[in-house]
């Protein structure tokens, strides 16, 4: 395939990612040559959330360098494909151990409602002596934190973070989504299954972080998620409030980490990437 043909349309079987979405892939273009790879369908023997009439995503056969992520991210407005660096340590991706959810479902969830629900469930079950772990809030959910002030351009920062993650030798995935947060549902990521049965509410939370903190979804693993953050909290007070959101999103990073919101807040204050993992 010559360069001109690559520029005219999506190469190979990438158009299949848009099948059934009402989006004409003929209007999509990609000017970059891709490494060898193929589209991934969910394993029919793996529990599914919807009957998918198209592949969930495209995946490279071999590890890639992180700089390719940035070049593909820049083409997202034209290609409609959001790049992801995929940790294949536990090999869920190529095996199709995924459960895609409708991206349209994400808009049915409000991040603040998810946070209040998680907090209320914890407050109902936690012993009185445990309330100090979430000081200064305790039993009372503070709601979402105020937006951060940008320290960098979100896309440029994401590109640099991708180069760092690329040193781990990840695979490259492409998901047909309008924004990075939606990729969590589209690719069938199950990383937080032990915390929340559905992924769409978590994707709604990440949408909110995209808007308030300049977050970008850069990579994910079997039970991990990697975000770049251009507008992190820089004061202790703000960081503690953001830490409360992180706890509701991923309790393990607190209870299996520093143990208190104050301790975790110091870890994320001024930090331009957020890494989450679920047990």
Averaged pLDDT score across all residues of the chain: 91
Report pLDDT for 45.
Answer: 82
pLDDT digits (tens, 9 = 90+) for 174-187: 999 999 999 999 99
Q: Does 20 score more than 70 pLDDT?
A: no
The dihedrals phi and psi of 262, each to the nearest 5 degrees, come to -60, -45
d(CA 167, CA 41): 27
Q: Does 65 score more than 50 pLDDT?
A: yes
d(CA 76, CA 7): 14
The stretch 189-211 carries a mean pLDDT of 94
Would you say the C-alpha torsion 63, 272, 268, 175 has a positive or negative sign? negative
Cα–chain-centroid distance for residue 9? 27
d(CA 265, CA 51): 41
């Amino acid at each position: 395939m010559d360069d001109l043909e690559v520029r005219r349309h999506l190469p190979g079987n990438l158009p299949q990612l848009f099948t059934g979405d009402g989006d004409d892939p003929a209007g999509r273009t990609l000017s970059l040559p891709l490494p060898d790879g193929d589209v991934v369908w969910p394993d029919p023997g793996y529990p599914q959330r919807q009957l998918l009439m198209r592949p969930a995503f495209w995946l490279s056969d071999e590890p890639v360098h992180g700089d390719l992520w940035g070049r593909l991210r820049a083409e997202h407005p034209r290609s409609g494909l959001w790049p992801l660096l995929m940790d294949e340590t536990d090999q869920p991706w190529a095996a199709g151990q995924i459960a895609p959810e409708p991206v349209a479902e994400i808009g049915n969830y409000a991040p603040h409602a998810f946070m209040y629900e998680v907090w209320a469930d914890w407050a109902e079950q936690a012993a009185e002596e445990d309330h100090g772990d979430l000081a200064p809030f305790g039993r009372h959910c503070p709601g979402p934190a105020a937006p951060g002030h940008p320290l960098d351009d979100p896309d440029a920062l994401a590109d640099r973070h991708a180069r760092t993650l690329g040193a781990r030798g990840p695979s490259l995935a492409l998901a047909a989504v309008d924004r990075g947060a939606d990729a969590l549902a589209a690719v069938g990521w199950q990383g937080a299954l032990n915390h929340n049965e559905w992924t769409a509410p978590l994707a709604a939370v990440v949408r909110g972080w995209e808007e308030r903190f300049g977050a970008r979804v850069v990579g994910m693993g079997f039970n991990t998620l990697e975000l770049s953050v251009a507008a992190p909290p820089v004061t202790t007070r703000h960081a503690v409030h953001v830490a409360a959101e992180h706890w509701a999103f991923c309790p393990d990073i607190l209870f299996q980490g520093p143990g208190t919101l104050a301790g975790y807040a110091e870890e994320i204050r001024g930090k331009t990437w957020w890494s989450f993992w679920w047990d």
